[in-house]
Amino acid sequence: MGPKDDYIGTNLAPALSKAMNVGICAPSSWRLQALPKITFPVYRTSAKVTGTLSTSELSYASADHKEGVYLFRLYPPRTSPGGAARRVQSVVQTGENYAINVLKGRGLPADMAPLGPSRSDGVWGLAVADMITTGYASRSTGMEAFVGAAVIAPYGTQASPGAQDGSIAAGVTGDYAVVVTIVYGPVSAKLWAGPHDLGLQIFSSWSLLNYG
């Protein structure tokens, strides 16, 4: 995507992660951000690991760091601790919550909180399933964020974990990962102005790199 493709002339450019097999469009003035090291627990254990989410997180931001976008590709547990299959919507919500919690206090304000319940949305089309969108805001900083999360599963998810595992084995395009996109900026910023605001253009430009 570039200036010639943007009918209202916001000069968007590709922001891609080959390791994650995902991409998005962002203003050409925004720059790729280095990922900090974080420490987090290993699921179902007391162990912790430290490192960057280099194959799970992509971040672009404006020069003043007041506006930007995060893109995550995550693999939340698809079964409960007791082994029961979790609903797809629950897995998607877990992915969104994880991404927000990882960013609180380092990429997003610590008091970032949802403005209301998550809502179903089909803005990304057939590349995903069970998509939800949520608005977030920080009272202390005046920052807002528009957040979307969905399962990467073209044409809908399959009924059972076994069927999903078979799909994963066949290829990584629709491997039932949860993708999370977070576009953020000040409440009064031009990012949110107009019926086709820049924030929504960035948000809706998410795609798998090999999804046609």
CB 191 within 8 A of CB 185: yes
Dihedral over alpha carbons 63, 64, 66, 67 (to 10 degrees): -10
Residue 173, φ and ψ in degrees, nearest 5:
-65, -55
pLDDT confidence band for 6 (50 / 70 / 90): very low
Query: In which residue are the tokens 């528009």 written?
Result: 146
pLDDT confidence band for 11 (50 / 70 / 90): confident
Amino acid at 119: R
Q: What confidence tens digit (pLDDT) does each residue in 119-156 have? A: 999 888 777 888 999 999 999 999 999 999 998 865 44
- Give the per-residue pLDDT at 9: 53
CB 145: neighbour CB atoms within 10 A?
A: 25
- Give the per-residue pLDDT at 211: 46
Residue 29 scores a pLDDT above 80? yes
- Give the per-residue pLDDT at 7: 43
- For residue 129, the cross-strand partners are 151
Region 100-117: mean pLDDT is 94
pLDDT confidence band for 194 (50 / 70 / 90): confident
- Give the per-residue pLDDT at 122: 86
Mean pLDDT (the chain) is 82
CB 199 within 8 A of CB 192: yes
Region 29-58: mean pLDDT is 83
| CA 192 – CA 212 distance, rounded (Å) | 28
- Give the per-residue pLDDT at 159: 52
- Give the per-residue pLDDT at 100: 96
Q: What confidence tens digit (pLDDT) does each residue in 160-190 have? A: 555 555 554 454 455 678 999 999 999 988 8
Structural domains for the chain = 13-208 (3.40.1000.10)
